Chains A and B, each alone.
Chain A
Amino acid sequence: MFEGWEFVTAGYGFTFLVLAVFGYLTVRKGKRISREVPPSKRRFLD
């Protein structure tokens, strides 16, 4: 009944973990670097 689930768990686990960690690190680095940039130079968000 549970045959094959270990591969499914590994595949889904890796996928969601990698994307979540990469997304989190990107947003965190963005917040950190934003502080080093003068407000007038951050206007790409407009």
Chain B
Amino acid sequence: MTATDKNFLTTSSKSTKVIGSVALAAGALTLIFGLIVAPPHIEQGQSARLLFVHVPSVIATYLSYFITLVGSAIYLRKKSLFWDRVAGASAEVGSVFCAVLLFSGSVWGRPTWGTFWVWDPRLTSTAVMFVSYLGYLAIRRMDMEPAARRRRSAIVGILAFVNVIIVHFSVDWWRGLHQSRTFEPSDVQIEGWYLLSFFFGTVFFVSTQAWLLIHRFRLSHLESQANAAKLDQLIDLRQSGDLGSAQTREKVV
């Protein structure tokens, strides 16, 4: 194996190393500023520090699911495998961020509302969003003809985004326990150390999202290539008449 081959035995590259370094630095700054430098909130006390992971996790989730929407729409139009993989990888990453957002919101709700969970419109629609994208990922793993599976998952990837819009506007459309949107571009309600900590938290989540998306996309590509390589091996074995051996089949499959 040559040095060049070794370089390709990973999903990493120069770009992911740069993005990963940014994510690590921003993560460290989020911890320092969010847990040490920023003072406790005058009303919420220490629990307000959860703002610096909870709201950025919402941004990363929305961004991931939006990429899934774009990837799905382009796939349906161009039948491009690239965009199908982008959509799938982004939904995987988005669901991890959605789990983080549900958990961090839940532990923030306990000291603020007195309960970990309430069937408030924002919380309920977020839970539905999480489950619907898990459903999307399940469709991507269904055992069926690949082109049909890609088409169906693309349709679900588009339809599921409707719920993302419902989540975002749920605090305006219905009355609930959840506060209204924290950030309006025209009316930013935090300042000083809180704003700086929030900025680091957002950089951390968005760079981590980009890093994970690239790695998951490459992983998806490699899985597909590995399956194709196995199929080629099986065809070669069949042509050579050696497929009958159970040991040989086990080696390949």
Q: CB-CB < 8 A to A18: which residues of B?
A: 96, 99-100
| A38 & B229 in contact (Cβ 8 Å cutoff) | yes
Q: CB-CB < 8 A to A5: which residues of B?
A: 46
B166 within 8 A of partner (CB): no
Nearest Cβ on chain B to A2's Cβ, whole angstroms: 8
Chain B, residues 149-190, CB within 8 Å of chain A (1/0): the string is 000000000000000000000000000000000000000000
**Interface residues on chain B, size class:** 35 or more
Contact of A19 among B9, B54, B208 (CB under 8 A): B208
Chain B, residues 42-78, CB within 8 Å of chain A (1/0): the string is 0011110110011001000000000000000000000
Contacts A16-B27, A30-B10, A30-B222: A7 and B100 contacting too (C-beta < 8 A)?
no
Q: CB-CB < 8 A to B218: which residues of A?
A: 30, 44-45
Q: CB-CB < 8 A to B99: which residues of A?
A: 18
In residues 1-46 of chain A, which contact B (Cβ within 8 Å)? Answer: 2-5, 7-8, 10-12, 14-16, 18-19, 22-23, 26-27, 29-31, 33-39, 41-45
| B50 & A27 in contact (Cβ 8 Å cutoff) | no
Which of B105-113, B124-132, B242-250 forms contacts with chain A? Answer: B105-113
Chain B, residues 1-28, CB within 8 Å of chain A (1/0): the string is 0001101111111000000000000010
Q: CB-CB < 8 A to B13: which residues of A?
A: 45
Instruction: Tell me what chain A mostly uses at the interface: helix, strand, loop, or mixed.
Output: helix
Q: CB-CB < 8 A to B103: which residues of A?
A: 11, 14-15
Bound-complex Cα distance A15 to B44 (A): 20
Contacts A22-B212, A26-B11: A7 and B219 contacting too (C-beta < 8 A)?
no
Contacts A8-B35, A8-B46, A11-B107: A37 and B226 contacting too (C-beta < 8 A)?
yes
Nearest Cβ on chain B to A24's Cβ, whole angstroms: 11
| B47 & A8 in contact (Cβ 8 Å cutoff) | yes
| A42 & B54 in contact (Cβ 8 Å cutoff) | no
User: Knowing that A11-B53, A15-B100, A39-B8 are A-B contacts, what are 14 other residue pairs whose CB atoms are under 8 Å apart, sorted by A's residue number?
Assistant: A2-B46, A7-B107, A8-B46, A8-B47, A11-B103, A11-B108, A19-B96, A19-B212, A26-B11, A30-B10, A33-B219, A37-B226, A37-B229, A45-B218
Which residues of B are interface residues toward A (Cβ below 8 A)? 4-5, 7-13, 27, 31, 34-35, 40, 44-47, 49-50, 53-54, 57, 96, 99-100, 103-104, 107-108, 110-111, 208, 211-212, 215-216, 218-219, 221-223, 225-226, 228-230
